[in-house]
Amino acid sequence: MNAFCTYCSALKSMAPGNIPAIKRYQSLRIRKVCQAATELGLEFYILSGEFGLISPHQPIPFYDHLLRPEEVLVMVERVAKQLHEYGVAGLVYFTQPLTSSRELLPYYEVIKSACLRAALPFFVVEVTNEAMTA
């Protein structure tokens, strides 16, 4: 199955306990990409710097962790395994322009390298905040 994916968000709900990832992450980008995937009948995943590839419905606790460059190799292994376990055949990755922030690069490196390791077709779509509100 093909899937859409985007990275997590620094802005999170501080609700106690575990709540679905789509409610934990307070991001218009995540909601819009999830909505597009649903409308197209595709799976949707969020790339979390803490948990790897997660479903929007997966309950997660509040956390504050930005994926660091030195964590990329370990996370690539984890995400490649998850891609296989979830039966993903191809992935479209949505991101803000990669030149807009160095903090985006570890997430991009993880998903790109994991897809290469899993021999999956991989496409990148760069979106702006303006495009998300349109």
pLDDT at 133 over 90: no
Give the pLDDT band (50/70/90) at residue 130. low
CATH of domain 2-133: 3.40.50
By the 8 A CB rule, do 68 and 106 touch?
yes
Please, which residues have CB within 8 angstroms of residue 81's CB and are 6 or more apart in sequence?
none
Q: For residue 10, which amino acid is it?
A: A
Separation between Cα atoms, residue 131 and residue 40, nearest integer Å: 18
Q: Could you report the per-residue pLDDT of 75-114, keeping only the tens digit for each?
A: 999 999 999 999 999 999 999 999 999 999 999 999 999 9
Cα–Cα distances in Å, from 55 out to 19, 30, 105, 131? 12, 12, 22, 24
Neighbours of 17 (CB within 10 A): 8
Give the pLDDT band (50/70/90) at residue 24. very high
| Predicted pLDDT of residue 134 | 57
pTM of the model: 0.94
- Would you state the structure tokens that stand for residue 73, as one six-digit string? 């190799």
By the 8 A CB rule, do 113 and 76 touch?
yes
| Predicted pLDDT of residue 110 | 98
Mean pLDDT of the chain: 94
By the 8 A CB rule, do 10 and 66 touch?
yes
Strand partners, 46: 6, 54
pLDDT at 131 over 70: no
Q: Could you report the per-residue pLDDT of 8-21, keeping only the tens digit for each?
A: 999 999 999 999 99
| Predicted pLDDT of residue 128 | 84
